A and B are shown apart, each in its own frame.
Chain A
Amino acid sequence: EAGVAQSPRYKIIEKRQSVAFWCNPISGHATLYWYQQILGQGPKLLIQFQNNGVVDDSQLPKDRFSAERLKGVDSTLKIQPAKLEDSAVYLCASSPGTGGYYEQYFGPGTRLTVT
Chain B
Amino acid sequence: QKEVEQNSGPLSVPEGAIASLNCTYSDRGSQSFFWYRQYSGKSPELIMFIYSNGDKEDGRFTAQLNKASQYVSLLIRDSQPSDSATYLCAVNIAGGYNKLIFGAGTRLAVHP
Contacts and interface: CB of A to CB of B under 8 A. Distances in A.
Contact of A95 (B98, B102, B105): B98
Given A50-B97, A100-B31, A100-B32, A41 B46 contact: no
B45 interface: yes
Contacts of B46: 103-105
Interface stretch (A12-20, A64-72, A76-84, A106-114): A106-114
A56 B97 CA distance: 8
Contact of A106 (B4, B31, B43, B98): B43
B103 A42 contact: yes
B96 A106 contact: no
B56 to A, nearest CB: 13
B105 A103 contact: no
B44 A31 contact: no
Nearest to A108: B43
A56 B43 contact: no
A43 B98 CA distance: 15
A46 B111 CA distance: 36
A42 B98 contact: no
B100 A31 contact: no
B102 to A, nearest CB: 3
B98 A104 contact: yes
B98 A100 contact: yes
B32 to A, nearest CB: 5
A48 B97 contact: yes
Contacts of B96: 56, 100
Given A100-B32, A101-B31, 8 more contacts: A31-B97, A42-B90, A42-B103, A43-B88, A91-B43, A100-B96, A100-B98, A104-B98
Closest 7 CB pairs of A and B: A42-B102, A98-B97, A106-B43, A55-B97, A98-B98, A100-B92, A109-B43
Interface of A: 31, 40-45, 48, 50, 55-56, 89, 91, 95, 97-109
